[in-house]
Amino acid sequence: MVLTISLPDRHTFYAGKPQKSSTSSETFQSVDPSTSKPVCTIHTSSPSSIDSAISAAKSAFPSWSSTPPVERARILQKAVSILRSRNDELAKIETLDTGKPFSETSTVDIVTGADVLEYFANLVASGGLNGESFRLRDSAWVYTSKEPLGVCAGIGAWNYPIQIALWKSAPCLAAGNVMVYKPSEVTPLHAQFLAQVYTEAGVPDGVFNVVYGAGEVGAYLTKHPDIAKVSFTGQVSTGRKVAGSAAGEMKYVTMELGGKSPVIVLPEVDIEQAVDGAMMANFFSTGQVCTNGTRVFVPEKLKAEFERVLLRKMDDVRPGDLMDMNTNFGPLVSEAHYKKVVGYVKHGINVDRATLLRGGLEKPENLPERLNNGYWVRPTVFTDCTDEMKIVKEEIFGPVMTILTYSSLDEAIVRANNTELGLAAGVFGKDINECHRVVKQLQAGITWINTWGESPAEMAVGGWKQSGVGVENGRRGLEAWVRNKSTLVEMGGAVPTVFAKL
């Protein structure tokens, strides 16, 4: 099935509708990664357009922030209902924009984003924004409140466009804030669709706005004096710049950055289960997942069996027509990223000299002819790897697994932690107590035991070390979008003072 969707040009969205750019505005293309053909023209938001979007948000904030949480929740629940009713339509847009198979986008991307919006709507409706009160002494008591921040900037990533947009906007709006959202310039199509869903649900004009462009647009947002918070998802180097810029302006920040996550296979393990987990940790979404477990530590005595089962199961990785529900592996997202990943594979072969167990530099076999110009790579496995190799140390963000062996668990734990990143980690084993012992020692903010990748709305997720600041989702995720106000009430009838007559 050929996916053909005709989309009009995209312009800055604020005050409840798209706002036409000037005829001289710069443009860029959204490209279908499976064919390398452009599908939509996007107009870069000018500084004046960004100012207008921020102004619209600023004007909407007083009313939206004073709307009772339960009323905000009702509106956001309507948006959840619309998202679910349009799941397949929006999933096709995500497939067209990201190159992910429809079998994935239709079951994960919109579904999990809507789950997060539903979770935060329910949370604020059921008292999630309540403060606390306590008696300080007989004549005085203290109460606290959670106050919204104001106009917030959400800067999205290209690998899970609408899901990340919802991970940011859901707690932001539920807490009473307003947002100016910038999607990645690589995958921008979802943004206006989401804005229209919010508008249709009854979110007031100006509460959710969209600006388009590359790094300069994000930098302008980050430095703008009317932005109270910046929430960014992306690579570590960019995140450092964004966080530094925002912190210099005393803005609140949440940073969800990259990783080079370890998978530790214990000596006593169900090999089939461990291989399934390692494959999900490396090949799902064509390896374009920040939590990917690309360093797979296997006991020396299990290496041969692990690789034998892995090679057998890799026959079930099926690239092809993205709208075929049997396809479970798509292309990389862009030409630039394709060149980056291929460069790492070449380095692994020619410089690191790791053993190429499967995959390599050729495109997948038996692709339909119309897909030959897309950004396709083969799922690749290197073995006999060492910790010093570039393909082991650096985040590739593609379907490239590296297998490393170990002789003792304590050694594996030390090696797994020997990275400046700390986003995710996982353990596979039959002894659940041993699994817990190992996970406790792994330096990562997101950990899994005998599974990989699931991040439900109820689960707060965020990185350690250079992998991020703060968390998203869960109860703690709401705290990232409010500030505390404490009030002390004296009821004794007199103001305590040292300035009295002697």
How much is the pLDDT for 24? 61
pLDDT score of 378: 98
- Give the per-residue pLDDT at 152: 98
Hey, what are 483's tokens? Answer: 């500030």
Token pair listed for 459: 């689960």
pLDDT digits (tens), the chain, 502 positions: 556 677 999 999 999 999 987 656 799 999 999 999 999 999 999 999 999 999 999 999 999 999 999 999 999 999 999 999 999 999 999 999 999 999 999 999 999 999 999 999 999 999 999 999 999 999 999 999 999 999 999 999 999 999 999 999 999 999 999 999 999 999 999 999 999 999 999 999 999 999 999 999 999 999 999 999 999 999 999 999 999 988 888 999 999 999 999 999 999 999 999 999 999 999 999 999 999 999 999 999 999 999 999 999 999 999 999 999 999 999 999 999 999 999 999 999 999 999 999 999 999 998 999 999 999 999 999 999 999 999 999 999 999 999 999 999 999 999 999 999 999 999 999 999 999 999 999 999 999 999 999 999 999 999 999 999 999 999 999 999 999 999 999 999 889 889 988 8
Sequence-distant (6+) residues with CB within 8 A of 182 are 153, 154, 155, 156, 210, 211, 212, 213, 217, 218, 221
DSSP state at residue 29? E
In which residue ranges of the chain is CATH 3.40.605.10 found? 13-257
3-state SS, 388-429, equals CCHHHHCCCCCCEEEEEEECCHHHHHHHHCCCCEECEEEEEC
Contact (Cβ atoms closer than 8 angstroms) between residue 383 and residue 362: no
Catalytic site residue 26?
no
370 φ, ψ (degrees, to nearest 5): -70, -10
Amino acid identity of residue 426, one-letter, is G
Residue 25 has what pLDDT?
77
Rounded Cα distance, 207 and 60, in Å: 6
Angle of CA points 170, 175, 178, to nearest 5°: 70
Residues of the chain with CATH 3.40.309.10: 262-449
Residue 500, pLDDT score: 86
User: Residue 255's pLDDT is what?
Assistant: 95
Contact 427, 449 (CB under 8 A): yes
Architecture of domain 13-257: 3-Layer(aba) Sandwich (3.40)
pTM: 0.96
Rounded CA gap, 336 and 334, in Å? 5
What is the spatial distance between Cα 185 and Cα 347, in angstroms, rounded to a whole number? Answer: 28
pLDDT of residue 22: 66
The residue count for the chain = 502
Task: Select which of 94, 118, 185, 256 is catalytic.
Answer: 256
Is 18 strand, coil or helix? strand
The count of C-alpha atoms lying within 13 angstroms of the C-alpha of 361, restricted to the half-sphere facing its C-beta, is: 10
Please state, in angstroms and rounded to a whole number, the distance separating the CA atoms of residues 59 and 264: 51
**Where are the alpha helices (H) located in 33-159, listed in sequence order?**
47-66, 69-85, 87-98, 102-104, 110-125
Q: Considering only the top CATH level, what class is 262-449? A: alpha beta
Pairing of β 229-233 and β 208-210: unpaired
Close Cβ partners of 495 (under 8 Å, ≥ 6 residues apart): none
- Determine the Cα–Cα distance for residues 45 and 49; give it in Å rounded to an integer: 6
